[in-house]
Amino acid sequence: MEKKVYSVDGKEVKSIELSDSVFAREVSEGSIYNAIRNELANRRVGTACTKGRSEVKGSGAKPWRQKGTGRARSGHKRSPVWVGGGIVFGPKPRDYSYQLPKKIKRLAIKSILSLKAANDEKFKVVEDFTVESGKTKDLVKVLKNLVSDERTVLILKDDDSMIKRAGANIANVNILSYNRLNAHDLFYGKNVLVLEGAALKLNEFYTN
What residue ranges do the domains of the chain occupy?
2-27+110-205
Q: Which CATH superfamily is domain 2-27+110-205 in?
A: Ribosomal protein L4/L1 (3.40.1370.10)
Sign of CA dihedral 111, 151, 124, 162: negative
Query: What's the rounded Cα separation, in Å, for the pair 117 and 76?
Result: 65
pLDDT over 90 at 1, yes or no: no
Hey, what's the torsion of the CAs at 138, 139, 141, 143, to 10 degrees?
170
Number of Cβ within 10 Å of residue 50's Cβ equals 13
Q: How far apart are the first and last CA of the chain?
A: 17
Rg (CA), the chain: 27
- Say yes or no to pLDDT of 208 above 80: no
Q: Kindly give, in sequence order, each residue whose CB lies less than 8 Å from that of residue 17, ignoring residues fewer than 6 positions away.
A: 1, 2
Task: Write out pLDDT tens, residues 145-178.
Answer: 998 888 999 999 988 899 999 999 898 999 999 9
pLDDT tens digit string along 86-137? 999 999 999 999 999 999 999 999 999 999 999 888 899 999 999 988 899 9
Give the global pTM.
0.84
According to the model, what pLDDT value does residue 34 have?
Answer: 97
